[in-house]
Amino acid sequence: MHFDRRARYAPVEAKGVYDMPAERLELPQGTLDLLILKTVALEPHHGWAISERLHQISSATLLIRQGSIYPALHRLERRGLIKARWRTTENNRRAKYYELTRKGRAELDEQTDAWRKLAAAIGQVLETV
């Protein structure tokens, strides 16, 4: 799994499972990039829509702030994993829409596989009595 060492953690707010007040959690290094790649793999989105989609898909658990999403988008674009095009939004505003590149698709597949293996291994350890 490849991680960008410059961005060690991405602060997000996570809603408690039992509607407890929101608390700040730190996503493990590289996780936000993986979530963004997955989101734009489905269809191009602008930054705010990516954040909203992650919030929606996570059952309102993840709340990605602009201070985290835009630096991550620029980092992914510099690495050639996504590309941006100016388009008009549903609200008739101009925004950069981000989409996955061929290189980004390969990175998404690699990171997804690595994440699943890591999660399975951690799950095994946590379930051991």
For 59-112, the pLDDT digits (tens) are: 888 989 889 999 999 999 999 999 999 999 989 999 999 999 999 999 999 999
Whether the per-residue pLDDT at 53 is higher than 60: the answer is yes
- Round to whole Å and give the CA distance between 53 and 41: 12
The pLDDT score that the predictor gives to residue 28 is 85
Domain boundaries, the chain: 10-127
Whether the per-residue pLDDT at 4 is higher than 80: the answer is no
Angle between helices 31-42 and 47-57 (to 10 degrees): 100
For 9-52, the pLDDT digits (tens) are: 455 554 444 344 556 667 888 899 999 999 999 999 999 999 99
Q: Which CATH number is 10-127 given?
A: 1.10.10.10
